[in-house]
Each structure stands twice: as structure tokens, then as C-alpha cells.
Chain A
Amino acid sequence: MKHLYIKIFIALLVIVSCSKDSDEDYGQNSSQSNVQTTTNSSSGSTTGTTTGTTTGTTTGATTGTTTDSSSSQGDTFDRGSILANYSENIIIPRYNTFKSSMDILKNSIETFVNSPNSDNYDALQSDWIDSYKKWQYVEVFNISKAEEIMYGLTMNTYPVSKERTDNNINEGKTDLTNPNDWSAQGFPGIDYMLHGIAETKDAVIELYNSESKYGDYLLTLGSVMNENTIQVVDDWTTYKDVFNSSFDNTATSAFNMMVNDFVYYFEKGLRTNKIGIPAGRFSSTPLPDKIEAYYYSKNSFGNLSKTLALESRKGVEELFLGLNSDGLEGPSYKSYLDYLESEIGSSVKTKFEEAALRIDDLQDNFLTQISENNTLMLVAFDALQTIVVNLKTDMLSNFNIAVDYTDADGD
């Protein structure tokens, strides 16, 4: 008996020394969130979404997960099916859709720079709008290659920095990897290049005709965006299998990172950046110049901010419900919440619809909306806020997503 204790004790020491906590892989992940945090607080922000809406381009939709949403209680719920549904029916199709529009955008940039005329300008502008809308459906996927190359931040950090962009134009800068250049490229960068360097269409075209530096920088923007997009989209062909099978409950699993991305995007990308900051919710006065696609509205070319907000909201809603291209609900956060016998899934679903109405109540032109009746902006904000509350408290609590890399008591 006495020897037994000794053996047990030694065995224990071995266990203690070998034991590995889940909090090991701390480094990688925190960098993600930290970077995002910093950028947001300083300049403006990031936002986005993608359109999976129609467009069936893909081969992605082939595989398994059709609609098998409701697993009855007591049965095992297969979290892997959520990932499979997301990657095959949502993420990859959305990326392919976006990539096509990105290709078109890049082409029309080249066409316009080669011959800057009114028709080419119109084509480019419309392709920019189309692509920007589709972007709203992919910005949320800050994972794997997208996370590694700061894809979201390079594509859609706004407000664009006029000063930085003017400098880059004058210097003929082509390497835009410096974080300070995030606010001088991507969709906001093109916005500035099309609607900000001069106040009218003719004046803008005139600049492209008179000085090549504008065309050069616009080409750079197009090719950087396109190259990054190719990297991210290509990565998914190999990453898909990793993604689909990474559904364990650890801080680094794809399942958990995806949940965090989703919540993060909804809170910052949609709620804070598109509505909250411009409406002055986080400052003592409204900051209309922080709206998305600012120069487009400012110089009266047209209005896009509301459309982008609506697309973004639709993108996260479809993700939450796991909608495939036929509009059917599949395995998703919603069905997972249902499995966990939480009412929150249904209640959030309703709130998503409510939020759509509240955003739709806004004028197309956010600048005039903010100056004439900012209250409606704040109403829209609150409609999103109530969803954020459910996602960050109820959903995360029910999923019990491991996010802490540090020790916690469970209290």
C-alpha cells in the first residue's frame, strides 16, 4: 500500500509535467484581434460583406451538406456539418462570385486608364459598385489566408486617407503592404480615385488624361486587390478540407474562429463602422465623413452607403441561417442554437428582419440622413445593437466557445 502512494505520486508528477493546456496557441490568434482593434480605434474601420445571393458559378455547391438542419435533441449535433455547409454553400460560392466581379473590375480599370473617357468611366464606376456590394459578403471571413495577409483591412479600411493617398499618387507608390497604406487602397481607395481627386466626373477624367500618375496608382490598386483576392480564393481550395474538419472546441479551431469572426464582423464591421461611427454614437458629434463610400456621396456622384449596409446585413443573416444558394436553411449557428434548446436563434432571426427594415428606413444618402435626421440612424444602430447583445452574450454562452487563452475559473 505504501509503495502504491509513491507510484501514484510519481505518475502524477509525470502527468503534471506533460500536461498541455488548451491555451497554448495563444500567439497566433491574439495578433488577429489586436491588429483589428488598433486600426479601428485609430483611423476608421473596416467593413464588409459578400454576396452569395444568386450566382451559382461554382463547383463548390456540389458536395454533401444539403439541408439537414434540424437534428432532434438528444442526438449528437454535428458541428462539422455547419462548417461543411458554410464552406461549400456559402464561403466558396461567395468568394467565387466576388472574384469574378473583381476580375471584371480590374479589367475595366485597365480599359479606363488606357483610354480615360466617359463611357469607360461609367463602366468602371458600375463595376466598382457591383464588386463593392459583393465584397460585403466576404469581409466576414477573416480566416486562414485572409487573416494572414490582412485581406479585409487592405480591401476596405475607411475612411480613406486623402493625405496618404495623394502622397502615394505623387510618389508613384506600388508597394502598399505598410499598414499605414491600408487606408489608401481597396474599395475606399478606388472611391477616392473615381470621386475624390476632383469634384465632377469630367474633372476626374481630365486628370487621368493630363497626368499618368493617377492612372498608375489606380492600376496599382486594381492589381493589389486582384492579387490578394486570387491568393485568398486559391487558398480555399486547399484550406476547405482543413476548415471542414476543424470543429473541435479550442481557441484555434476553425469553428471557434469562425464564430468569433462572425460576432466581430457583426459588431465592428456592420454595427460600429457602417452606422455607429458616422451617426456619432461613439463621438460627441456625428462624423458623416466616416461613412462607407464617402466620396461617391460627398461629390454627388450617387449614393452607396445604405446599399452596402443592407448587403452586409443580408450577408451575415444568411450566414447565421446557413442559407444555401437556393435560399434554404442549412446547418448553421441558428440550427445549433435550436439544438441547444435556446430560444435565441429564432429571436435573432426576427431581429435580423427588423434590422433590415430599420436600415431600409434610411435615406440613400447617409450624409443628408445624418444632417437632417440622425435619430433614424441611431434607431438603425439600436436594431443592430440588440442583435449584438444576443450574439455576444446568449450565443457565445450557449456555444461555450473557448476564447480564453489565459486561465479561467469558469466564473
Chain B
Amino acid sequence: MNINKYLNKKQDSSSLAIFRLGFGFLMLFSVIRIWYKGWIKELYIDPSFHFSYYGFEWIKPIGDYTYLIFLVCAISSFFVAIGYKYRISIILLFLSFTYAELMDKTTYLNHYYLVSLISFLMIFFPANAKFSIDNLISKKSYEFIPKWNVDALKLMICIVYFYAGIAKINSDWLIDAQPLKIWLTSKYDLPIFGGTLFQMDWVHVFFSWAGMFYDLFIAFILLYRRTRPFGFFLVITFHIMTAILFPAIGMFPYIMITSSIIFLEPETHKKILDRVSSVFRKYFQKVSSVTNYNFKKAKFSQTILVIFFTVQLFFPFRYFLYPGELFWNEQGYRFSWRVMLIEKKGFTEFKIVDGETSESFYVLNEEFLTEFQERQMSFQPDFILEYAHYLGDYYNNNGYNNVEVYAESYVTLNGRESKVFVDPNIDLMKEKRGFSNKEWITELEDEIKGF
């Protein structure tokens, strides 16, 4: 197909408007939820130390002003939803939410990464073309927007699902049914199935395979008109089920369900929007309808998106650049749509050695980290290294010299018996943070076949 012809294709602007409404209100709800539960204080203000993403150490919580970040996020979400000063609002939403997510990687969640990506994409699309406050102000609304806008969003969702599916093609997941074996068995308190089916091996295996097939194929089922209703039914069933089974995944099911609305036919979008907007019809009477949205700087946006998606396609495979088992050393694990894939717990303490006097002692982690941070730190190598450096610097500044830091670390992965995770003879102060291979992580000594 001719590229230019494709780029000139139009789609009803209802599609973007519906997505904007869903996404905006869902984000508003998410932020209120985070606020209401006291997590802003608990996760960002109370801890004295924060785990940063490499290269983003300059992004930190800003004391009580951290609330402002979330306030900006909430307000801009609402403005996005109602389409008020849309462009600036979506940019603010992207910036504030992404900033919040980068403040401490202890709270990393795949779906929050997805939120950042979607809000980034939305910057480039005229999602306020229809049924927006901006229409009322400019007294103009637009019937059609470029089809590639909608397709870009679909592509994003497809990547999430498909890559999540690929990640499940491994022997732990498919053969040993781990970690679902552990997780489902522990759901003994669910009515009817909890104490019966969820205790059975074949159920664990069945759920594992079903989960893999769902992730691999759901995007394609949604893409084709004939299978779409069934696909939408699957999306709802699957995600509601995960919400019940794994309450701790929070907003994830709802974000995915809402996102998948973009796959519906444009006519359906239009129909829904007409329904919703009929209530507000009188306000829109003075708005004159223009057929095509005049897309400014289309070339620029397209270039950005091509780069964006190229990165998205390759980034999850960066783990090929590292030796060793991905699930064990987690080099290239995050930002790759590996969701609900491993059950890992660790125990890690640090030995501080004064390089001049050879005095040594172990650190009580509770003096520096919250429980949640300690739990996350204990099995993730980049956390361990960052924290080791923090401790080393701390003691160098507090009466000790040439401090060396050694880790005593044990980790269990997907039901395997715990074993030593970090070479105890390596001075972590001499190991640089960054993307180079962390040779001080031990071998898993077991092969997990597949991706």
C-alpha cells in the first residue's frame, strides 16, 4: 500500500474523543486513589532514601511539594478528559506523571510505564477534535482525524500484549507453571475455586497456557472485525479475572480494558459518543462542524512516532546483550512488558568495612529503607548496587575511610530454593552503576528455556 495514501486516510474523530475521555478520567481516578490511600506520603515523602533510575538521579520527590506534582497530574487528567486546553494539558499530564514515576523505582509498574507512553503519544494527536471544551471555545469541531493517529494507539496496545505473550514462552511458565503455581495455590480463600481447583496442578498449567495464548493473540483478535466482539469479551473476562485473583495489581486491569476500547469500530465510537454528548447538545449548538482536522506539523509527528515505535520494538529485547538468566539478574527486565512473570523474594544485608582500620559491621536496613523498599531492594541487582553505594558514601562521610561494601544476599526465584545472589567477596563500591554487565551476580545454575 502506498504510504502517502495510508497517511491521508481519515477516521471519525469520535474514536480519539472516546479514548481521551476514558484515559483522562481513568488517570484522574488513579491519582485520586494514590492520594487517598496515603501513598504519596508513604512512598515519596517519608523515605529518607530513594532508588533512582540510572541517569535520572536528578528526579527526586520534592518534600511536601510532591503533592503538587500529583495535583498537577490530577488537574491535567481532568482537563484532558474534558478536552480543555488539550495540548498543554496532555503535555503536563505526561510530564507530571512521568516525573512521579521516575522519583523512585521501588514503585515501578509496567502499566504506569504504559500510561507514560500513551500520554506521550497522545501529545501528538488532536484528541480534542470533537466533544471537547476546546470546541466550545474555538466554536469549531472536526469530524475526521487521520487514521494513523488511532492506529498508533492500537499498535502500542498490540506491542504490550504481544510482548507480554512472548515473555511467557519459557519453561518456568509453561512447563513448571511457575509462578502461577505459587500464586494460585495461595488464593485458597477465594470462594468456590480457591480451595479446590486452584490447588490442582493441571489448573496451574492450564492458566499458564491460557494466559500465554491470550497475551499472544488478543491483539489480533481485536484487530479483525469479525472476531472483535469475541475479543472484547475476552478482554473483559480476562482482566476482571486478574483483578479478582491479584488485587495487588491495582489499576492494571482497568487501564488495559479502557485502552482496548480503541479497537472498537469507528461507528461504535461515534455511537457511544453521540449518546454521551446528547446530554450536552445545547452547548454544542454554536459549534460549527468542520470536516477534516488540519493536522499541523504532520511530518514532524510522524517522524517522532517512527522513532518511538522503532525503539519500542527493539528495547524489550535488549536483554540479549547480557549473559546469564534474565529472570535472575534482571538486566533488561523492566520496560519490556514482563508482567506477572516471576515470583522472587530476597534477603540482603550489607557489610561495611573501613578500608584503613579493617573494622567492619553489618547494616540494619531498617535504618535507611522502608519495609517496601527493603523488600524490593533485596532481589534486584540495580537496587542492591545503588543502595550499596549510598551506604558506602554515607559511612565515608560519617567517620569511616575508604569504605568497602559487601553484600550477603540470598534470593529465591519461582519456587527454587534460595541461593546466594551476590558474590560476597566483591566490594560493591568498586562496581560502577550503569548498563554494563553486572559480573558480581551469581549464576542461577539452572536453565530457563525460552524467552
Residues of chain A touching chain B, judged by Cβ–Cβ distance below 8 Å, are: 1-2, 4-6, 8-9, 12, 15-17, 19, 21-24, 26-27, 30, 33, 37, 40-41, 74-77, 79, 247-250, 253, 272, 280-285, 340, 342-344, 388-390, 392-394, 396-411
Chain B: how many interface residues by the 8 Å CB criterion?
A: 76
Q: How far is the CB of A37 from chain B (nearest CB, A)?
A: 5
27 interchain pairs, CB-CB under 8 A = A5-B264, A5-B268, A8-B236, A12-B257, A12-B258, A19-B254, A26-B38, A27-B38, A41-B367, A74-B199, A74-B200, A74-B201, A77-B199, A249-B189, A283-B361, A342-B415, A390-B418, A396-B345, A400-B183, A406-B39, A406-B107, A407-B249, A407-B252, A408-B249, A409-B108, A410-B340, A410-B342
Q: How far is the CB of A407 from chain B (nearest CB, A)?
A: 3
Interface string of B311-351 (1 = CB under 8 A from A): 00000000000000000000001000011111111110000
In the complex, what residues of B have CB within 8 A of residue A398's CB? Answer: 182, 415
Q: A249-B187, A282-B361 known; A15 and B240 CB under 8 Å? A: yes
Write the chain A residue with the least CB distance to B346: A393
In the complex, what residues of B have CB within 8 A of residue A408's CB? Answer: 109, 248-249
Q: Lowest 10 CB-CB distances: which A-B pairs, in order?
A: A407-B250, A248-B189, A400-B186, A22-B247, A410-B340, A393-B418, A284-B359, A397-B345, A393-B412, A76-B195
Write the chain A residue with the least CB distance to B242: A410
B200, B261, B347, B354: the one contacting A393 at CB < 8 Å is B347
Write the chain B residue with the least CB distance to A283: B361
Q: How far is the CB of A51 from chain B (nearest CB, A)?
A: 29
Q: How far is the CB of B147 from chain A (nearest CB, A)?
A: 20
What's the Cα separation between A1 and B232 when bound, in Å?
A: 12
B232 and A5: CB pair below 8 A? yes
Count A-B contacts at CB 8 Å: 170
Is the CB of B362 closer than 8 A to any CB of chain A? yes
B182, B248, B275: the one contacting A404 at CB < 8 Å is B248
Interface string of B9-29 (1 = CB under 8 A from A): 000000000000000001001
What's the Cα separation between A265 and B258 when bound, in Å?
A: 44
Write the chain B residue with the least CB distance to A398: B182
B229 and A4: CB pair below 8 A? yes
A388 and B38: CB pair below 8 A? no
What's the Cα separation between A400 and B340 when bound, in Å?
A: 13
Write the chain B residue with the least CB distance to A390: B418
Residues 203-262 (chain B) with a chain A CB within 8 angstroms: 229, 232, 236, 240, 243, 246-252, 254, 257-258, 261
In the complex, what residues of A have CB within 8 A of residue B359's CB? Answer: 284-285
In the complex, what residues of A have CB within 8 A of residue B243's CB? Answer: 19
In the complex, what residues of A have CB within 8 A of residue B401's CB? Answer: none
Write the chain B residue with the least CB distance to A399: B186
Write the chain B residue with the least CB distance to A11: B236
Write the chain B residue with the least CB distance to A272: B364
What's the Cα separation between A12 and B229 when bound, in Å?
A: 15
Is the CB of B431 closer than 8 A to any CB of chain A? no
In the complex, what residues of B have CB within 8 A of residue A41's CB? Answer: 364, 366-367
B199 and A411: CB pair below 8 A? no
B410 and A23: CB pair below 8 A? no
Q: A23-B248, A411-B339, A411-B341 known; A282 and B347 CB under 8 Å? A: no
B179, B200, B360: the one contacting A410 at CB < 8 Å is B179
B232 and A8: CB pair below 8 A? yes
Q: How far is the CB of B106 from chain A (nearest CB, A)?
A: 9
